[in-house]
């Protein structure tokens, strides 16, 4: 009995490896391009929550709330929305801020992803 040759080979073929590597690289590229859009959305949500929870802003005029957002967004380098894109309302005596915006993320050549975000100060 010859034990040097296995009856059945096991493992990954070269073409299977290339296909798997291609899929992994493609997913990595897409993920790396999407991270900044999601990070900016998280920053915008944090700004809205911070402004809504600020005691000075509870009785402030709409213009003062928008100015506060403009200053904070400038510090945080937010470029996706401006102060005019924020909806300001009061519910139960509490300030609520929300926004709705879209981001177009170019992937390759003429292929892009269109992401819609709706951050708000509500929990």
pLDDT score of 1 more than 60:
no
The answer as to whether 87 is a domain residue is yes
The answer as to whether 122 is a domain residue is no
Return the number of other C-beta atoms located less than 10 Å from residue 43's C-beta.
17
What is the number of domains present in the chain? 1
The answer as to whether 86 is a domain residue is yes
Q: What domain range includes position 69?
A: 36-117
What is the percentage of the chain residues whose pLDDT exceeds 90? 79
Q: In the structure, what pLDDT confidence band is assigned to residue 97 with cuts at 50, 70 and 90?
A: very high
pLDDT of residue 59: 86
Return the number of other C-beta atoms located less than 10 Å from residue 21's C-beta.
10
Q: What is the pLDDT of residues 27-61, one digit of tens each?
A: 999 999 999 999 999 999 999 999 999 999 988 89
The answer as to whether 13 is a domain residue is no
Q: In the structure, what pLDDT confidence band is assigned to residue 8 with cuts at 50, 70 and 90?
A: confident
The answer as to whether 31 is a domain residue is no
């Amino acid at each position: 009995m010859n034990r040097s040759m296995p009856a059945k080979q096991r493992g990954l073929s070269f073409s299977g490896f290339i296909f798997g590597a291609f899929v992994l690289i493609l997913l990595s590229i897409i993920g790396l391009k999407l991270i900044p859009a999601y990070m900016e959305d998280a920053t915008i949500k944090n700004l809205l929550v911070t402004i809504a929870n600020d005691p000075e802003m509870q009785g402030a005029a709409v213009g003062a709330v928008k100015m506060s957002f403009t200053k904070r967004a400038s510090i945080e380098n937010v470029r996706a929305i401006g102060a005019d894109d924020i909806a300001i309302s009061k519910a139960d005596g509490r300030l609520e801020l929300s926004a709705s915006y879209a981001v177009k993320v170019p992937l390759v050549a003429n292929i892009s992803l269109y992401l819609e975000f709706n951050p708000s100060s509500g929990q």
